[in-house]
Amino acid sequence: MSTEKTDVVIVGSGFGGAIAAYHLAAGGAKVVVLERGPWLQSNEFEHDFLLGSSYTRAFDFVVGDGMSVLGGNCVGGGSVVYFAAMPRAPRFVFERHGSIGRRMWPASIDRSSLDPWYDKVAEALPVSQQDWNDVSYSGGLWAAACHHAGRTANPAPVAIDNGKCTNCNWMMGGCRFDAKRSLLTNYLPAALAHGARIRPLHEVQQLSRTEDGGYRVSYNVVDEEDYREHTGRGVIEAKIVVLAAGAGATPVILQRSEATLGAMPHAVGRYFSGNGERLNTAVLDEDKVREVLGLSREDGIPYEANQIGKGPTVANWDKLDGSLPEYSRYSLEQLYFPPGLGTILAQVPGGADPTWFGAEKKELLKRWRSWLTIFLMTEDDNEGVFGPPPPTGNAFRISQQMLGRGPLSYEPTANTKHGWALADADVKDIMERDGLAKVAPWTNDVVGAYTVHPLASCRIGDDPATSALGDNHELRDHPGIFVTDGSSVPGALTVNPAMTIAALAERAVPGIVKAARERGVDVSYGAPSPDGATSGRRATLRLVPSLSAGE
């Protein structure tokens, strides 16, 4: 078998992979992107929950010991299945100490230093600030409830073209209308236009070194219908490898590669964060929606709107206050979570124990249109640890698609539980005033804690003992390997992390370009944003002028 060669192999096509792929390809490097999941077109994003639909094909749900992770598994990665909320991390996040007792983030990064990279992402996608005419009815109700309780409410910044959005509320399974600005609509097509090659259904297994100091990337080809089956395998050699397979897969690849690369930094597969996430379901009293909040729709129904609109459009940020003690800061975000997992984990308010079936649960499910789901993003203690990797992939595959059993263990500390309890109590106080609703947190008893925003399993930092990467995202003791996905983020952000992951990936690119040039790759830095705009390029070029090919 002949071995293919290229300049750069990128593993994964979410924010961390797509952004690197675009800039490196636009700068002249030969780039191959290996993506574990399928390449779905807009008309393949289906509005159903059937086996084999876009839901089961495009998601990766891995159950660990005490923590379950829901992520993207397709070209475009998490950007295809996210809700497109794109807030920037609060300033206090970068000063967090967390479980290590000192600043987790590298000294070179704070909110001010990251703002030019945030700006670049905002220009590229683009990201816009919604006004009250753009929010969903569910978001409006959450805002009204916050106001009624003396709290504030904020329309969330989003990567959505509201002119194209039909308010179908199926965006979690991909957007049929290209209203959601996933990476399929910006960085990835731009990377393709510059010659990057994207290979779906290619699951990377292991890295090893070549004799000339480069890397050999071994992969399996995954069957398009049954992800447990492999239809082939192959190897690509590259001078640079960028790992962006997600915080649940990147550390597993590196752990499996110890046999061929040598010892990994201590922090690989440790310090995993679930972004402190938790969900509450408020079951609304329809009459009280009218009486207490004064709301109703054109047809006279006060609410019954859980399925109408889009994902999160309104958030309460009152507790994103840097003067508060750590583990007491969090955001509360209205969220549409479709039937399925939510109907299993949502609990009957007022019950002493988890209720899976029976008359009360049946009545709860009958009223699902009157639910309002509130998404809590708190500060956790980076408790997650990955055990020995499975033989292939990031998990033992249980079903044809989507479901697996992974090596992640997670035991929440008292600090994490404290943050959850404060946020739970806040939601209860807001939603149960004057009988508006009854609230219950989702249970952790079946799949443990859960996250849709896994972070920090190969994090950046200044301390080699507690970080896997330097502040340039290069893997310690393994030059030429970079990590640019959510696993590089040091800890919980208290807000949706996509914007920060993307900004860090943009920030990492100049260092990757520099390393590639040192290894003989003819590549430059300074391409405009994928939409052709140049203001973001000019701002960031001032930070790295030596890598520019000229304006």
CATH code of the domain containing 469: 3.50.50.60
How many Å apart are CA 156 and CA 140, to the nearest integer? Answer: 12
Position 350 scores a pLDDT of 74
Closest to 168 (Cα-Cα) out of 50, 310, 303, 373: 310
pTM: 0.96
For 399-438, write each residue's pLDDT tens digit: 999 999 999 999 999 999 999 999 999 999 999 999 999 9
Tokens of 159: 């990567």
Measured from the Cβ of residue 414, the count of other Cβ atoms closer than 10 Å reads 9
Position 551 scores a pLDDT of 42
The pLDDT of 310-339, averaged and rounded, is 92
Residue 276 has pLDDT above 90, yes or no: yes
Position 366 scores a pLDDT of 82
List the alpha helices (DSSP H) in 245-353.
250-256, 258-261, 286-293, 341-345
> Which range, of 44-48, 73-77, 144-148, 325-329, averages the lowest pLDDT?
44-48
Q: Does residue 266 lie within any of the structural domains?
A: yes
Q: Does residue 363 lie within any of the structural domains?
A: yes
How many Å apart are CA 549 and CA 551, to the nearest integer? Answer: 7
How many Å apart are CA 473 and CA 105, to the nearest integer? Answer: 12
Position 152 scores a pLDDT of 98
Residue 443 has pLDDT above 90, yes or no: no
Position 533 scores a pLDDT of 80
Percent of the chain residues topping a pLDDT of 90: 80
Q: Does residue 545 lie within any of the structural domains?
A: no
Number of domain units in the chain: 1
List the alpha helices (DSSP H) in 258-386.
258-261, 286-293, 341-345, 359-366
Vertex 423: Cα angle to 317 and 144 (nearest 5): 50
How many Å apart are CA 139 and CA 315, to the nearest integer? Answer: 8
Q: Does residue 500 lie within any of the structural domains?
A: yes
**What range does the domain containing 382 cover?**
4-536
Position 354 scores a pLDDT of 62
Q: Does residue 549 lie within any of the structural domains?
A: no
Q: Does residue 241 lie within any of the structural domains?
A: yes
Residue 211 has pLDDT above 70, yes or no: yes
Residue 461 has pLDDT above 80, yes or no: yes
Q: Does residue 218 lie within any of the structural domains?
A: yes
Percent of the chain residues topping a pLDDT of 70: 96
